[in-house]
Amino acid sequence: MRRDLIDILVCPLCKAELNLVVFKEEDDQVIEGRFDCKQCNTAFPIDDGIPNMLPPDLRD
Ligand SMILES: [Zn+2]
């Protein structure tokens, strides 16, 4: 996913801003990483460039 997606994404739980933590990046794309909500501290993983914005309760 593109790094600047952080500007339009918000936490699906509380609508607060997210922090982007990058583990692996290629050609301006975030491959592996994590979004951390600044308010409720929920973490949303980014795997293979795809952010998983599902609340933890709905993940399998
Ligand atoms: Zn939140």
33 CA distance to ligand 1 middle (Å):
17
Domain that holds residue 26: 3-51
CA–CA gap between residue 17 and residue 58 (Å, rounded): 21
The answer to the question of residue 58 being in a domain is no
Asked whether residue 32 is assigned to any structural domain, the reply reads yes
CB 44 within 8 A of CB 53: yes
Give the N- to C-terminal CA distance of the chain in Å, as an integer. Answer: 22
User: 44 CA to middle of ligand 1, Å?
Assistant: 10
The answer to whether position 60 is within a domain reads: no
Q: What is the tally of structural domains in the chain?
A: 1
d(CA 15, CA 17) in angstroms, rounded, equals 7
CATH number at residue 37: 2.20.25
pLDDT at 60: 74
Q: What is the CA(7)–ligand 1 centre distance, in A?
A: 15
The pLDDT value recorded for residue 56 is 87
Tens of pLDDT, residues 7-60:
999 999 999 999 999 999 999 899 999 999 999 999 999 999 999 999 888 887
Residue 36 included in any domain? yes
Q: Is 20 among the domain residues?
A: yes
40 lies in some domain: yes
Short-list 24, 37, 32, 38, CA closest to 51: 32
CA of 16 to the centre of ligand 1 (A): 5
